[in-house]
Chains A and B, each alone.
Chain A
Amino acid sequence: MKPAGKTAPGTDAQTAPKTAGDGGRARRRLPRVDGLRGRLLVTVVVVALISAVTATALAYRESREAVLKRAQNAAVDDFRSRVEQLVPELDVPTDPRSMARFASKVSSGMRGSLVVVQYRDFTVGSDPSADRTRITPELRVAVRAHTQVSLQRVLYAGKPWLVLGAPVGLGSPSGPGASAHSSGVEIFAVVSLAEEERDTAELVRSVQGGLVPVLLLAAVLALLAARTVLRPVRRLARATRRLATGELSIRVEEKGHDELAELAHTFNETAGTLEHTVGELREQEALARRFVADVSHELRTPLAAMTMVSSVLEEDADQLTPDTAHAARTVSAETAKLARLVDDLIEISRFDARAVSLTVHELDLAEAIRATLAARGWTDQVEADLHPGIRARLDRRRLDVIVANLVGNALRHGAPPVTVTVRAADGWLTLSVADHGPGLPPEAARHVFDRFYKADRARARSEGSGLGMAIALENARLHGGTIEIEPQAPGTGAVFTLRLPLRTDSAS
């Protein structure tokens, strides 16, 4: 009992300092066996179980031994004194009747144990009906070999018995074991150990009764311990997730001085550094963007004046000398190109600054695309396969920009015929622009949406600003759509496919 009692508080002592707060939340959720909490719970319960069982087993063995020893000693003393007291009444050689008397006298002094007296071929018991098989041959041999009281513990009918045996000595009043020579009489006593067994069994039962609360307590303590460990871990996990989603100002509480607090501190430091670095990068990026936007805007005013004046020059070119006319036309053309580049730069810097919004209207797609083609004089060069009756809620101006860029690109870099196909299915509209040129080399396909990317370096100074495809993609994304390059099939040119939801919300 003692070691068992020591073990259970020992478990307490290990876990108690870590437990703080109530176990209310711990009980609410079922612990997962594969989780940290489950593992801790199982470990603590198993450790508690092993300690309790080991302690109980040791205590049981010790106490059982002590109880039996005491009972045994008492029985031996009793037996010896009883026999000594009664031996003088026994005459040797003896007859069965006096043997029976002797046996019952010894028995009556020993809480009614079964006493068996043996002399030569006679065996007489205090209870003639009792089964004498409890007196084993080994004991009989031992009794014959020793003058002392021999004893043996046997199990009979599921119950423990103590069997004592001794030769009865002659001419010696000191009784069994002290005689000089054997009288030939052997006396055996069978004593029940049931009461002692009951006592020790009671001990086991009481330990068993205590085991369940101890295990429950261990489980609760394990849950509490897990909670104190897991709560900060869970908080950290949550904070990490939020950090990953871009919430860089997130910090966790640094409580105490343990490893978890250290971890929290490291997390906070990391988040702080990250926030600082990202903040700096964003600031630099914002500055760069603002610079582009400002430069573009500043360019607009001189360009406005130049566009005006150069259009006058161009109109009068016919009346100028050939060289001057060429100069005038070049200035006019380059001014127009510059104006388009500045327009595109302003447009893209607006996307970068997220200062764009959609103005959606319900419109007929076939009609809108025909208008786009007509406005740019492309109707004759482009084959339009426009499914009639497709209506969509889109920003018409932005759709125009996308289609104009895709078709313009196909006309510039591909080869005729250029085909525009529009279909609608499952709430999405699909617009494909295909040409019959050589198609895009893989390198170009990867970068075609990059700003200022020009597939053909030799024609770097082509008509486009180099921003058209990037702007088209931004406009598609603004609608929640995409532009993709179809994998190239042999014999066809590049195929760009625009996918837009048929209904776009007004919000940008």
Chain B
Amino acid sequence: MPHVLLIEDDMSVRDGMELVLRRHGHEVDAVATGEDGLQLLSRPRGGGIEIAVVDLMLPGIDGFEVCRRIRGRGQLPIIMLTSRGDDLDVVSGLEAGADDYVVKPITGRVLEARIRAALRRAGPVTQTDSDDFAGLVVDRAGLTVTKHGTPVPLPPTELRLLLELSASPGRVFSREQLLDLVWEHDFLGDSRLVDAAVGRLRAKLEDVPAKPRYIQTVRGFGYRFGPL
């Protein structure tokens, strides 16, 4: 069963979420601070943790910093939990590397759906070839990306986004299509997720992120991979 790390400082919320997650069959490590959460992750093989749900407002190091440190050490999917839907918080969280965000209060069902979607992204992809795009090699079997021979580590959401985009070079995807394909939101999504993920991908793949070659913006429509 998926192993969830829950970082939430409020005891009632933490207990409620732990209860819901356990009922959905997850193994849960619930901690109150970012420091404790990072310590759990530093166990061998991350202590078997498969996904992190992180509150943004934390005593000590805050949720943004926790996101950044988790990203710094691995590909663990992160869902950020914000008590405020403020645009600034959401954008900052996404830029810090979160894959998704949920605004409190949230029902157990929605949280569960989001966790499952994030985990699916991290799971195996059913394509089995490898493409070379002018030095950028996307290995669909091994789920690795290398640029001029150098591995580019990508968290699951970004990898999934790259796989979807590069599967049909030149095709324009709207933000809504990408939300549906990558985030599997069957409800009205938030295009900020797409924009933030594209931004992070560009920072890692492009030579000049301000003048992207691989992931191009089609004004008024969305994004496309290439043409190179």
* Chain A residues in the interface with B (C-beta under 8 A): 297, 300-309, 311-312, 315, 335-336, 339, 342-343, 346-347, 350, 355, 357, 359, 361-362, 367, 371-372, 375, 391, 393, 396-397, 400
Contact = CB atoms under 8 A, between A and B. Distances in A.
Contact of A359 (B10, B20, B192): B192
A303 B104 contact: yes
Contact of B12 (A302, A335, A339): A302
B108 A372 contact: no
Nearest to B221: A362
A336 B108 CA distance: 12
A371 B13 contact: no
Contact of A305 (B12, B109, B111, B221): B12
Given A301-B104, A309-B16, A396-B191, 6 more contacts: A297-B83, A311-B20, A335-B105, A339-B105, A371-B176, A372-B188
A449 B109 CA distance: 33
B84 A297 contact: yes
B8 to A, nearest CB: 9
Contact of A362 (B87, B187, B220): B220
Q: Which of B12, B15, B84, B105 has the most CB of A within 10 A?
A: B105
Given A301-B104, A303-B105, A375-B187, A308 B83 contact: no
Given A359-B87, A371-B176, A391-B220, A312 B13 contact: no
18 contacts: A297-B83, A300-B83, A300-B104, A300-B105, A301-B12, A303-B104, A304-B13, A305-B13, A308-B17, A308-B108, A308-B111, A312-B108, A315-B23, A336-B107, A343-B85, A359-B192, A375-B188, A397-B190
Contacts of B190: 397
Nearest to B21: A308
A308 B176 contact: no
Contacts of B84: 297, 300, 346
Contacts of B12: 301-302, 305
B19 A308 contact: yes
Nearest to B185: A375
Interface string B15-36: 1110110010000000000000
Contacts of A367: 176
Nearest to B112: A311
Contact of B20 (A302, A308, A372): A308
B45 interface: no
Interface of B: 10, 12-13, 15-17, 19-20, 23, 83-87, 104-109, 111, 175-176, 187-188, 190-192, 219-221
Contacts of A302: 12
Contact of B188 (A309, A350, A400): A400
Contacts of B108: 308, 311-312, 315
Nearest to A392: B220
B186 to A, nearest CB: 9
Given A312-B19, A362-B219, A371-B188, A307 B106 contact: yes
Q: Which of B108, B111, B187, B192 has the most CB of A within 10 A?
A: B108
Contacts of A311: 20, 107-109
Contacts of B104: 300-301, 303-304
Contacts of B220: 362, 391, 393
A22 B104 CA distance: 71
Nearest to A357: B87
A435 B191 CA distance: 31
Given A350-B86, A362-B219, A400-B188, A312 B23 contact: yes
Contacts of A301: 10, 12-13, 83, 104
Contacts of A306: 16, 105
A304 B17 CA distance: 9
Contacts of B86: 350, 355
Q: Which of B109, B111, B176, B188 has the most CB of A within 10 A?
A: B188
Contacts of A303: 104-105
A400 B191 CA distance: 13
Contact of B175 (A297, A342, A361): A361
Contacts of B87: 357, 359
Contacts of B175: 361
Nearest to B11: A305
B72 to A, nearest CB: 28
Nearest to A364: B174
A301 B187 CA distance: 24
A315 B109 CA distance: 10
Contacts of A375: 187-188
Given A303-B105, A339-B105, A308 B188 contact: no
A336 B104 CA distance: 12
A305 B219 CA distance: 42
A426 B10 CA distance: 52
A373 to B, nearest CB: 10
Contacts of A362: 219-221
A451 B128 CA distance: 57
B26 to A, nearest CB: 14
A319 to B, nearest CB: 13
Closest 7 CB pairs of A and B: A308-B16, A362-B220, A305-B12, A307-B105, A304-B104, A304-B105, A375-B188
Contacts of A315: 23, 108
B154 to A, nearest CB: 25
A304 B16 contact: yes
B19 A309 contact: yes
Nearest to A358: B87
Q: Which of A300, A308, A342, A391 has the most CB of B within 10 A?
A: A308
Contacts of B111: 308
A346 B16 contact: no
A371 B187 CA distance: 8
A224 B4 CA distance: 85
A315 B19 CA distance: 13
A350 B90 CA distance: 15
A308 B17 CA distance: 6
B178 to A, nearest CB: 12
B10 A307 contact: no
Contacts of B20: 308, 311-312
Nearest to A299: B105
A297 B20 CA distance: 23
A302 B187 CA distance: 26
Contacts of B10: 301, 304-305
Nearest to A340: B105
Contacts of A304: 10, 13, 16, 83, 104-106
A421 B84 CA distance: 34
Contacts of B15: 305
Contacts of A339: 105
B188 A305 contact: no
